[in-house]
A and B are shown apart, each in its own frame.
Chain A
Amino acid sequence: MKRGKIVVLCIVAALVLGRAGSALAVTDTADQSVTVTVSEIAELAVNGGAVSLTIAAPGTPGSLPSAVTDAATSLAWTSNVAGAFTRTITAALDSDMPASVTLKATLTKAGGNGTAAAQQTLSSVAATLFTGITNENVTGNTITYEAAVSAMVAPQTISRTVTWTLTEDS
């Protein structure tokens, strides 16, 4: 009787162990550690290429030629900042415009968190065109250039390079 019980117990144990082994064998796992780091990003680009503004003769003798504008180009940017910092976009010329000739610009907000500044006269000193940029990626922020003369000047062609800069506010 005792021997019979032992045999039964052995069989039960074998079955349980066999099943446990089988259950463990049918599934396996492998772990990988993945780290994603977002660096500080400040990417700015002009879309649209060179701009040409032609100041033509005025319609009325005695008046100055009208200002001309161009809104064919735009800025795109991708930016992120730590904490409460913000970024600004400025524009500067490689050298000042000649006397009596002005070049102004505005930047239209197409999205994001920032604020467009009012029209600014461009010079070799950086002017702020957009403020309050935080974590955003936006395209199609239209640049509107306006060229004008404040007094008549001789016929001429003036070329300047406008440098747009996305930088952290001080």
Chain B
Amino acid sequence: MCRGLIVFFTVAVVMVGATAAFAVTGAATQSVTVTIEEVALLGASADPGTFTLSGADTVAGSLPVVSDTSTSLSWTSNAAAGLSRKITARLDSDMPASFVLKATLAKPSGSGGTPAPQRTLSSTAGDMFWDITNESCTGATITFEASLSAMVPPQTVNRTVTWTLSEDQ
């Protein structure tokens, strides 16, 4: 009888002790997931001013050329490991005969990419900047150059240049 009581109390004490031991420490776990989505944002600062090919830019016997560096591109981009993006430029339609519109894109601060040499713009997209990986850049100066390859009558030509930031194939 006595032995039974002792065993009972011993078990009770152990159990109480154990409960007390569990109570002094709290633990909880949460799973936290941060997802960085693929980002490809591209913006142009403004439209360039009108390119006016006039006598003021022309040496007698030669053809007029004017350029504009008043606008720039900005981009925010990331890419999965081993992938990169590029920026292309194209016109909504080809320039008329004897008109030439060229562009270059300067490498902005903070970019790990590579600018392409000056390109003649057309309705077919041309690569202007390569090897864009994980970066956010502003102020990539666009240098447009408008010229004639032969003299044409006085006229005005409008085109839309579409810049595209996309993944390299």
Chain A residues engaging chain B, CB cutoff 8 angstroms: 21-22, 25-45, 47, 75-83, 135-139
Contacts and interface: CB of A to CB of B under 8 A. Distances in A.
23 contacts: A27-B166, A29-B42, A30-B162, A32-B44, A34-B101, A34-B161, A35-B158, A36-B101, A37-B51, A37-B156, A38-B64, A38-B152, A38-B154, A41-B54, A43-B59, A45-B59, A45-B61, A47-B61, A76-B61, A78-B58, A82-B154, A83-B153, A137-B63
A29 B161 contact: no
A28 to B, nearest CB: 4
Interface residues of B, number: 53
Secondary structure at the B interface, as helix, strand, loop or mixed, is strand
Given A30-B163, A32-B48, 16 more contacts: A22-B37, A26-B166, A28-B42, A30-B44, A32-B163, A35-B158, A35-B159, A36-B51, A36-B53, A36-B156, A36-B158, A38-B64, A38-B154, A78-B61, A136-B151, A139-B62
Contacts of B99: 36
Contacts of A27: 40, 164-167
Contacts of B71: 32
B161 A31 contact: yes
A33 B158 contact: yes
Interface in B123-165: 142, 144, 146, 148, 150-165
